[in-house]
């Protein structure tokens, strides 16, 4: 009954209730099934360290089905590489709007039934946690007392570039911040996943882990102008303390939580820090607003022209190519360059195909396996491809040296998703037999890559510049459309392969910035 009601809010629902995920003791549906009805089948997303984690961390969406993970602000918010970004790139503005409307309607109706509220009970820690928090505070306070003794008996060694007083303040601040962080971590671990405050913080709808630890564990050090509370009276912060008292509580360390309530002097220090925050916010708003306005004024006449340059209203060239690559930043996504970190053996196993003594699958699971065994022209093509892949790997590794072993790169056109889309459209099974020959794939990929140009022009400098601009993208395309990948992993047939090539070609042509785009204002808006 309830699932039926929620389904009626899913836009474009076909009237078929999906198979329930839980069949016994009673049929039950999961929230993941219902939200998957809203996600379009074009969307595939993966985020997180491990595959199928135990605690539902990270996220995996395959062909519009949410496999594991919880949707957070990062996935459905206004962030690059999120579901909305993918919907817009794959389905255009209408598709993105349909997704937003669908999520709004479905989730609102679900919340109407389920409800979400927060009460004082969500901030109360259990007895063991309270004791642990106290232990953390006591440990760090004794550390501060030790530092104070050392400073008084002149045993504290000054850190480079600081005098003894600065060193003392620095070390005390570090100790007290450690107390807050440890207490915060302890609290987070003790609260259940069903806790409403935790739910809100982890989904990204409101609040953060610091807010939770301040409500539950301790408020922490209050600061004014980046230092501990200064002496407002003679040698002391308030008349409630003795003179020359450098202890944590006399200099604004609040060891109570909001739940327990602050002492009068803690409250006063907290009000001091709070006042500074308010004034700072007000001043910053005015400052940034004026900076923003000046930026827009300075850049308001820059636009992309039909020849690909960026010029101002007088026609002076500001940039020969928008962003040095001419591409619209919207079409660029984070993509994994899988060939960088694998060993030579793995790399060879993934991409090398020797027709002189072909592997088992080649003869059994491939249309022309027997016919192509020992075929000279095909061997020449495959060897050429393998050489090129090895060169690519070395070149890109060299370029990527600075980033260490980071495999994610910002590149145009999500090739992986285009291939998955084609497999879905042409209904390609993981057990299918491919009818592509090396002579169909390798020259076609090469022809496509020859059309991929960023810097136009046939003079030596333009050619070199174009090579530099497209080197990583072309290497990625070659590795994703290598013959062994296409035939063994994706099992593509001729139709699907041609569809992918056409799709890549047309998307590449549409990835360039549109002439007339006011890129100056766009940049000013983004900086401000």
pLDDT at residue 337 in the model = 87
pLDDT at residue 480 in the model = 93
d(CA 37, CA 66): 9
pLDDT at residue 510 in the model = 92
Q: Are 221 and 230 in contact (CB under 8 A)?
A: no
At how many degrees (to 10) do helices 415-425 and 83-114 cross? 70
> Around 482, how many Cα atoms within 13 Å sit in the side-chain half-sphere?
27
Cβ atoms within 10 Å of 97's Cβ, excluding its own? 14
Residue 238: phi and psi, rounded to 5, are: -140, 155
d(CA 85, CA 209): 27
pLDDT at residue 79 in the model = 86
pLDDT at residue 32 in the model = 92
Its pTM stands at 0.87
Mean pLDDT (10-residue bins), the chain, 528 residues: 84 87 90 92 85 84 91 89 92 94 93 92 91 92 93 90 91 91 89 90 90 92 93 93 92 94 96 95 93 95 94 95 91 88 90 85 81 86 93 91 86 91 90 87 93 90 91 93 90 93 94 94 90
Q: What is the DSSP letter of 458?
A: -
Sheet hosting strand 310-311, strand order edge to edge: 303-304, 310-311, 317-319
d(CA 213, CA 431): 52
d(CA 363, CA 445): 24
Ordered domains of the chain (ranges, CATH): 1-114 (1.10.274.100), 119-276 (1.10.132.30), 326-508 (no CATH)
pLDDT at residue 80 in the model = 87
Q: Are 225 and 276 in contact (CB under 8 A)?
A: yes
R_g of the chain, CA atoms, integer Å? 31
């Amino acid at each position: 009954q309830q699932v039926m009601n929620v389904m009626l809010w899913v836009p474009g629902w076909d009237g078929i209730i999906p198979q329930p995920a839980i069949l016994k003791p009673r049929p039950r549906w999961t929230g993941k099934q219902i939200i998957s009805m809203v996600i379009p089948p074009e969307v595939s997303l993966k985020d997180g360290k491990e595959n199928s984690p135990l605690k539902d961390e990270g996220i995996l969406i395959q062909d519009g089905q949410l496999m594991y993970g919880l949707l957070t602000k990062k996935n459905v918010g206004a962030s690059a590489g999120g579901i909305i970004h993918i919907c817009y790139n794959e389905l255009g503005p209408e598709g993105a709007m349909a997704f937003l409307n669908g999520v709004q309607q479905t989730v609102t109706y679900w919340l109407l039934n389920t409800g979400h509220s927060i009460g004082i009970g969500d901030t109360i820690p259990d007895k063991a946690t309270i004791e642990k928090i106290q232990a953390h505070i006591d440990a760090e306070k004794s550390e501060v007392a030790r530092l104070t003794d050392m400073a008084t008996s002149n045993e504290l060694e000054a850190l480079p570039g600081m005098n003894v007083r600065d060193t003392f303040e620095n070390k005390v601040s570090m100790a007290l911040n450690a107390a807050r962080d440890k207490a915060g971590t302890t609290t987070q671990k003790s609260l259940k996943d069903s806790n409403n405050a935790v739910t809100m913080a982890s989904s990204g709808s409101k609040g953060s882990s610091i807010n939770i630890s301040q409500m539950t564990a301790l408020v922490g050090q209050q600061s004014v102008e980046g230092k501990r509370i200064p002496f407002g009276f003679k040698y002391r912060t308030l008349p409630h303390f003795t003179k020359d008292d450098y202890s944590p509580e006399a200099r604004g360390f609040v060891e109570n939580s909001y739940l327990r309530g602050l002492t009068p002097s803690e409250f006063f220090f907290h009000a001091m820090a709070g006042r500074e925050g308010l004034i700072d916010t007000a001043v910053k708003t005015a400052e940034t607003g004026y900076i923003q306005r000046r930026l827009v004024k300075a850049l308001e006449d820059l636009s992309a022209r039909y020849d690909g340059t960026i010029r101002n209203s007088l026609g002076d060239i500001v940039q020969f190519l928008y962003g040095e690559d001419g591409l619209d930043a919207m079409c660029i996504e984070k993509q994994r360059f899988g060939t960088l970190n694998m060993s030579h053996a793995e790399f060879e196993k993934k991409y090398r195909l020797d027709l002189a003594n072909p592997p088992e699958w080649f003869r059994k699971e491939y249309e022309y396996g027997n016919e192509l065994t020992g075929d000279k022209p095909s061997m020449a093509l495959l060897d050429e491809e393998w050489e090129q892949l090895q060169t690519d790997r070395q070149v890109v590794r060299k370029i990527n040296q600075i980033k260490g072993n980071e495999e994610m790169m910002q590149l145009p056109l999500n090739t992986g998703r285009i291939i998955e889309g084609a497999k879905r459209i042409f209904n390609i099974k993981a057990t299918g037999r491919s009818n592509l020959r090396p002579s169909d794939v390798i020259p076609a990929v090469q022809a496509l890559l020859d059309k991929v140009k960023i810097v136009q022009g046939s003079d030596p400098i333009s050619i070199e510049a174009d090579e530099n601009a497209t080197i990583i993208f072309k290497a990625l395309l070659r590795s994703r459309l290598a013959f062994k990948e296409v035939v063994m992993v994706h099992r593509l047939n001729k139709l699907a392969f041609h569809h992918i090539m056409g799709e890549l070609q047309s998307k590449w042509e549409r990835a360039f910035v549109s002439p007339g785009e006011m890129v100056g204002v766009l940049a000013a808006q983004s900086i401000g």
